[in-house]
A = this chain, B = another copy of it.
C-alpha cells in the first residue's frame, strides 16, 4: 500500500506539463518543487491550485515579501512541516532577513499565546470592535 508518488516532468501528461512550464516560467526556476509533483496526481487540483496561488501571491496592495511572511505565519500555526520549510525559503528569497525572521516567529508565538488567553478567559468582544 505505497504512499502517493511524485509525477516527474518526463512522465507527465501534456496537461500537467503545461502547468509545470508555467510555474517554472513564473518563478524562474529549473524544476518545480515536490508540492506540485505530488498534487499532480490529480491534474484538476494541480491546475486549479496553481491558478489560485499565482493570483493570490501576485503583487497587489501587499508586497510579495509581506505575502510570504503571512504564508509562513499560517503554516507555523498549522504545524505543517513541509509548508514551513518551503515558505521560509520563499520568504528568504523575497528578502526576509534574520531579524525579520526572528520578529515573525516572536509574533506568531505571542499571537498563539494571547489567542488562547482570550478563549480561556472567555473574553467578550468590545462594542468598539463590532
Contact = CB atoms under 8 A, between A and B. Distances in A.
A85 B130 contact: yes
A57 interface: yes
A52 B52 contact: yes
Contacts of A42: 98-99, 101-103, 105-106
A128 interface: yes
A73 B76 contact: no
Number of copies: 6
A128 B73 CA distance: 21
Contacts of A25: none
Given A57-B107, A101-B42, A74 B74 contact: yes
Interface of A: 1-4, 33-35, 38-39, 41-42, 44-45, 48-49, 52-53, 55-57, 60-62, 66-67, 69-89, 92-93, 97-126, 128-130
